[in-house]
Each structure stands twice: as C-alpha cells, then as structure tokens.
Amino acid sequence: MKKPIINQSKSTMLRQDAEEELGKRDSSDTFAELNKLKLIHELEVHQIELEMQNEELKAGYIQLEALKEKYHDLYDFAPSGYLSLSEEGDILDLNFAAAALLGGNRKFLKHTRFRLYITQESLLTFDKIYHKTLLNDKKVSGELSLLSKGEKPVYVHINAHKSENINVCLLTMVDISERKQAEMKLAHRANQIKALNDCYQDWEFLLDHLKEEVNELLIKAGGEKKYSTVGYERMKSERGM
C-alpha cells in the first residue's frame, strides 16, 4: 500500500503552529506560577510586618503600663492632697494625702460630698471658689478650714481649676495648719498687748485725772499746782473730751 504524500510546506507550518501553541502554554503556566509565587511572597512579607507591628504594640503597651503605674505612684503618694470633684461636688477620686487631711479612709471617702468635711465658717468661701472655677473656667485659690477628729480644725490652702476635657473640678490641698496656728497665736498675743496697753493708758489717764483734782483742791486752798497734767490734757484731746 502506498503511503500518503504530505505536502512539505504544510508539514512545516503545522510544526511551527504546534511549537507556538506549546510556547503559549508554557508561557501561560509560567506566568500563573510567577503570580502564585509573588502572592505567596507578598503574604509572607505582610505576615512579618504584622508580627513586627505586634511586637511594637506589645512594647508600647508595656511602656504605657509602666508610665501608668509611675503616674499612680506619684499621684497616690504625693505630699499634697489631690482631689477631683464632680459638678455636684462629690469626690470622684483622691490620693492618700487628701484622705489624711479629710480624716478618713480613702476607699470610703469616694463618692461622698466634699462639703461635708468643711467647717461652717468656710462653706461660703468654698462655694464661691467652686462655682467660679466651674462656671468661669478660672484657676482660683483660697484657704479653708476642714473638720477634724481632734479639737482644732485643719487649715488648708487650695488651688482649684477645671478639667480640660470634662466638667470636673480638680483641687490641690496643702496643709497650712502650723502656719495658721502661729498666725492666730501672734494675733492673740497682739490683742493681749493691746489690751494691756489700753489698760495702762486708762490707768495713766485715771492717775492724771486724780492729779488734776489734787491741783484744783490745792488752788482752792490757796496753794499752787503740784503735779504736771500735760499728758492728761493730751489724752483728753485724743479722746475728744
């Protein structure tokens, strides 16, 4: 049987078409493979980025907690008393120094009305300071006397200002009891000295008055004045007599 005769040029063209098709298939497979590898690479890089960000967040959180703990220590154990009061005047938070000045347990002082710990004489002063702080956003200072378990009240100098973010009054209290007691002792001593001086002047005035009467009796008896009464005349002028 005779073999079919294939045209040489047609065979060559088929060969070329087949090679081109193979090339397209190889190219398409290679492109898909490259895309897959690139996607895997991007995912791996993104995963590493997330891990690094997570480590940074952990480090930031640890640092934040350390700063938070440091802030609480500074706040809690500060020598001055710190309080935050609500718009109604309730104690929202306070440190140990403030609790000591108020004479109570820090835990039980929270959410109580601050005015309960102020003496009657200082309530009006506090109300003025508090309302001026909240209504006018001004920093105001003044002196208050606080109720105490002892015989004497506790005197404090306060600085009040409004919180920047919320309607809360922040108070700083410094104990000035020793200074205040020294001032009161000085005032009491000054009053004593003044009383003694007034008493002495009254005695001197009475003595000069007696001298004046003796002089008048001597003159009536035909004698002369015996005592000088210049001071008496001066004191009478000062007293409007």
Q: Is the confidence at residue 92, as pLDDT, over 90?
A: yes
Q: Cβ distance 64 to 80 under 8 Å?
A: no
Q: Cβ distance 208 to 226 under 8 Å?
A: no
Q: Coil, strand or helix: which one is 113?
A: strand
pLDDT of amino acid 99: 94
pLDDT, mean of residues 188-195: 78
Instruction: Calculate the dihedral angle through the C-alpha atoms of 180, 186, 188, 192, rounding to the nearest 10 degrees.
Output: 180
**Rounded (10°) angle between helices 230-238 and 177-220:** 130
List, in sequence order, every beta strand (DSSP E) within the chain: 81-85, 91-94, 140-146, 154-162, 169-175
pLDDT, mean of residues 142-163: 89
CA separation for the pair 68, 84 (Å, rounded):
18
Q: Give Cα 144 distance to the centre of its chain.
A: 17
pLDDT of amino acid 141: 92
pLDDT tens track for 27-64: 556 666 777 778 887 888 788 888 888 888 877 777 77
Q: Cβ distance 174 to 153 under 8 Å?
A: no
Whether the model pTM is above 0.85: no
Q: With pLDDT > 70 as the criterion, what percentage of the chain qualifies?
A: 74
